[in-house]
Amino acid sequence: MASSTALISDTEAWKDLKGHVEDIKKTHLRDLMTDANRCQSMMMEFDGLLLDYSRQRATVETVDKLLNLAKAAQLTEKISRMFNGEHINSTENRSVLHVALRAPKDAVIKADGKNVVPEVWNVLDKIKEFSEKIRSGSWVGATGKPLKDVIAIGIGGSFLGPLFVHTALQTDPEALESAKGRQLRFLANIDPVDVARNINGLNPETTLVVVVSKTFTTAETMLNARTLREWITAALGASAVAKHMVAVSTNLALVEKFGIDPNNAFAFWDWVGGRYSVCSAVGVLPLSLQYGFSVVEKFLKGASSIDQHFQSTPIEKNIPVLLGLLSVWNVSFLGYPARAILPYSQALEKFAPHIQQVSMESNGKGVSIDGLPLPFETGEIDFGEPGTNGQHSFYQLIHQGRVIPCDFIGIVKSQQPVYLKGEVVSNHDELMSNFFAQPDALAYGKTPEQLQKENVSENLIPHKTFSGNRPSLSLLLPELTAYNVGQLLAIYEHRVAVQGFVWGINSFDQWGVELGKVLATHVRKQLHSSRTQGTTLEGFNYSTTTLLKRYLE
């Protein structure tokens, strides 16, 4: 781009792609898929992973033009600026260094001139020591019993990532073995029902509560923390907090003010965005308590492997870069507003909700990083469910209704294989048959001519026709070990960053969540004074006043 305030849509590369869309609209995936050379060029392998993006509505020429767009957006330079710790989150004047959280001990990654890797490893070593004490029973609760259950309180980025990884590891044989006799639960919602569900069946005597909040001010988390502090102290006395509550935060002063000993707090840093914090103590502490630090270390190594690939691989072979560019293509040029994340793995059932935050909170922006209104849409609506459950829910719309680019994620070797006598294939093969079939069903569709040949009655032909030409990509992982889970996480984190870098937005702030929080504070105050002093509601419009009155009645 010529100047830092230019919009990417003003570049020749963008305009070139705009013109190219008209060529692509004349193609059908049914035809594009006949070109084996094209398909071969759209396969990418790295560290055991295989990406196939041949079912995108793109030709080799499209990919070249997207790579030109990446150059026009100075993508490589922006990636370097991120790894170099520059303050690329300009509206908050912060570095963006979640990659440092999983860097090897001897790496050097600087924020404001200081190598942050030793600090990262100080916290990791502290987590290792603490989690071993809890797991071995050398740290006991107020009544001398080992703490076998953990409730992690947190919301948004302080919840969704750790929940995704926990769910993915829960059935991994190695992790399963090391988690024997232990429970990890997550309390996120302010809804008292979530509190009830979390403490149901647990004994405060054997429970450790981890309060996870970057700011230590988030209303939901702090109220839930006070509620569980009450649950513990009511049963075990005020001094029990020291043994039963620990914290993860960047704000250690507020942790202490809350009543948690700062020695029992695990720090992270303002250069870690909430939604990018799963590799900090936010995720590493609860997961190490459940599975042991050595399992979690493998997860960090998997993420680090992708970080190195992302940092050093030329853009035409760089998996997160290619994925990000294709998403830009789908959103900004082909006009598809959504993306479905479809893991053929029940263990990845919390992956889409996590990526939903990573992607939508990062790229749901209306202005450029320089504050200029954008003449194009950014971000996409991310949603998803594991296959095959999704097939029996929303795939109808994906096949015959709206066009939604799909990410199919498959695993070669099952965590929990089952072979039933007399069945044609194993249960995992059955699952994966769907993983392989769905992308072709979307791409090829079914024509009226094909239906006629099958003697389908004329009146049903329109209903049974599939237009096809619906884009997807397939990502095949060898297994779902902790290492592979780390790889998957980092691929998606970086893909989102690539999209933001190309669109020229700030993917690392989230001002859009503030307004609702401010208005809720106003409501909270009025609810309180109305209930306690009988004051009349003030400052609300007719509709909100009516709803509030009904609620207060």
Catalytic-labelled residue, pool 205, 297, 361, 385: 361
From the CB of 20, what's the least distance to ligand F6P, in Å?
A: 36
Residue closer to ligand F6P by CB (options 198, 318) is: 198
Residue closer to ligand F6P by CB (options 221, 388) is: 221
Catalytic-labelled residue, pool 15, 392, 522, 528: 392
Q: How far apart are CA 509 and CA 366, in angstroms?
A: 12
Per 3-state DSSP, the chain is made up of helix, strand and coil in percentages (nearest 5) of 55, 10, 35
Instruction: Tell me which H or E stretch contains 521.
Output: helix 514-533
Amino acid code (one letter) for 253 = A
From the CB of 251, what's the least distance to ligand F6P, in Å?
A: 8
3-class secondary-structure state, position 159: coil
Q: Which of 407, 418, 551 is nearest to 471 (CA)?
A: 407
Residue closer to ligand F6P by CB (options 62, 218) is: 218
Residue closer to ligand F6P by CB (options 221, 327) is: 221
Q: Is 517 tagged catalytic?
A: yes
Instruction: Tell me which H or E stretch contains 5.
Output: none
Q: How far apart are CA 521 and CA 543, in angstroms?
A: 18
From the CB of 358, what's the least distance to ligand F6P, in Å?
A: 10
Residue closer to ligand F6P by CB (options 254, 548) is: 254
Catalytic-labelled residue, pool 133, 517, 522, 549: 517
Contact positions vs ligand F6P (CB under 6 A): 155-158, 213-215, 218, 221, 274-275, 361, 510, 513
From the CB of 56, what's the least distance to ligand F6P, in Å?
A: 30
The tokens describing 468, both together, are 């096809």
Q: How far apart are CA 208 and CA 432, in angstroms?
A: 39
Residue closer to ligand F6P by CB (options 135, 214) is: 214
For the chain, the distance separating the N- and C-terminal CA atoms, rounded to the nearest angstrom, is: 59
From the CB of 211, what's the least distance to ligand F6P, in Å?
A: 9
Q: How far apart are CA 296 and CA 289, in angstroms?
A: 10
Phi first, then psi: give them for residue 273, nearest 5 degrees. -70, 150
Could you tell me whether strands 381-383 and 43-46 are parallel, antiparallel, or unpaired per DSSP bridges?
unpaired
From the CB of 85, what's the least distance to ligand F6P, in Å?
A: 21
From the CB of 455, what's the least distance to ligand F6P, in Å?
A: 56
Q: How far apart are CA 499 and CA 169, in angstroms?
A: 29
Q: Which residues pair with 199 in a beta bridge?
A: none
Q: Is 453 tagged catalytic?
A: no
Q: Which residues pair with 153 in a beta bridge?
A: 187, 211
Q: Is 494 tagged catalytic?
A: no
Residue closer to ligand F6P by CB (options 63, 285) is: 285
3-class secondary-structure state, position 92: coil
Phi first, then psi: give them for residue 267, nearest 5 degrees. -85, 155
Q: Annotated active-site positions, please? A: 361, 392, 517
